[in-house]
Amino acid sequence: MQDAVSQGAKLISGGKCHQGCQFEPTILTDVTPDMALTCVEMFAPIAAIIAFDSEKQAIDMANNTEYGLAGYFFSKNISRIYRVAEALETGMIGINTGSISTEVAPFGGIKQSGIGREGSKYGIDEYVEVKYLCLDVEE
């Protein structure tokens, strides 16, 4: 966060540590795609606001990382929702919500954010060996 601010991002809210290692929710604007915080897998409550001119540019910027755990976007246009969701390179996508975790849905990412899923019926796949049997029974 401090690196982004030193490169011109504006700290709108938050940015401080509280008791222990708790970091308060933070909003940064004027973030550019070349700033380090846009291409790392952050597990911090930081919203990095990046301006874009087109849907394609926004998708390209979002996918320009080696990570792909989760993505989030907001839209009321159902065509755009399906188009953007299909194009985003993440294992999970929150659309019009920031709450995507539930025990009934598969949890996991793609790229360097992991292979496989936890939770739901797909979570057991990593622990099961599939075996095919073909039996001919003569009468």
Give the pLDDT band of residue 87 (cuts 50, 70, 90). very high
Q: Please give the share of the chain, as a percent, with pLDDT higher than 90.
A: 65
The structure's pTM equals 0.80
Residue 133 lies in a domain: no
Asked whether residue 136 is domain-assigned, the answer is no
Q: Is residue 123 part of a domain?
A: yes
Neighbour count for residue 35 (Cβ, 10 Å): 21
pLDDT, tens only, 39-66: 899 888 999 999 999 999 999 999 999 9
Decide: 123 and 117 in contact? Cβ < 8 Å.
yes
| Exposure on the CB side of residue 101, measured as CA atoms within 13 A | 4
Structural domain span for residue 67? 2-127
Structural domain includes residue 99: yes
| Total number of domains in the chain | 1
pLDDT computed for residue 50 by the predictor: 96
Write the DSSP string, 79-90. HHHHHHHHH---
List pLDDT tens digits, range 24-43: 999 999 999 999 999 899 88
CATH number at residue 83: 3.40.309.10
| Joined tokens for residue 16 | 């401080």
- Give the residue carrying structure tokens 């708790």: 22
